[in-house]
Structure 1
Amino acid sequence: MTRCAVNIVHNGADKADITVTWPDGGTRVISFSAGMPANSDLGKDFRFTREGSLNMIRVGVSERFEITDQLALGD
């Protein structure tokens, strides 16, 4: 696991699109809706669990992201 650069676009109080950029330049967009992780630009195998304010998101078989509510929604 490594830290990645992120770009966040807020779309209202409880919506956001987060673009994660890997060190090799690849990207993944993770969207939040109603304050929760909703989907990704991969469009399949999206799942998440929450522990407190930490969202542990899995996309496909090998991608894992940890995004806090504060990062995603500014809470």
Structure 2
Amino acid sequence: MPTAIVTGATSGLGVDIARRLVDDGFDVIVTGRSVERGEAVAQSVGDKATFVQADLTEDGAADRVVEAALSATGRLDVLVNNA
């Protein structure tokens, strides 16, 4: 199954993109700064979504998100840089 990372996915367009990707058969890594909102979004968009907390302005945060995606699914096919 293809895997996508959606940055800035805890509100607005990011939520819609994550939902559409799950509906289209992707495993989706939802990222954002707020753990509470991120976990709620991941739960609401479907069982193929996983939240990874990340503030992408911090050094190394992007690397940690990619590592989490690879660890969870073994692959990375799409990046939606919405943050």
Taking structure 1 as the reference length, what is the TM-score of the superposition? 0.31
Q: Which has the higher helix share?
A: 2
Higher RCO, 1 or 2 (CA under 8 Å, sep at least 6)? 2
More strand by share: 1
Q: TM-score, normalised by structure 2?
A: 0.30
